[in-house]
Amino acid sequence: GVEVRFQKDEALPPVPLDAERMTQALLNLFLNAIQATERNGVLEVSARREGSPGRLSVRIADTGKGMPPDVIANIFNPYFTTRPSGTGLGLAIVHRVVEGHGGEIKVESQPGTGTTFTILLPLEGQAA
For residue 127, is pLDDT > 70? no
Residue 6 has pLDDT above 80, yes or no: yes
Domain interval for residue 99 = 2-8+16-122
The count of structural domains within the chain is 1
Flag whether the pTM goes above 0.95. Answer: no
- Residue 118 in any domain: the answer is yes
Query: What's the pLDDT tens digit per position in 71-111?
Result: 999 999 998 888 888 888 999 999 999 999 999 999 999 99
Q: How far apart are the first and last CA of the chain?
A: 35
Decide if pLDDT at 126 tops 60: no
Task: Give a yes or no: residue 127 inside a domain.
Answer: no
Q: At 20, which CATH number?
A: 3.30.565.10
Q: 128 lies in a domain?
A: no
Share of the chain above pLDDT 70, in %: 95
Measuring CA to CA, which residue among 55, 59, 69 is closest to residue 125? Answer: 55
pLDDT tens digits for range 10-24: 888 888 899 999 999
Task: Name the residue with higher pLDDT: 126 or 105.
Answer: 105
Task: Check: CB of residue 58 under 8 Å from CB of residue 121.
Answer: yes
| pLDDT in the model for residue 125 | 55
**E strand or H helix at 125:** none
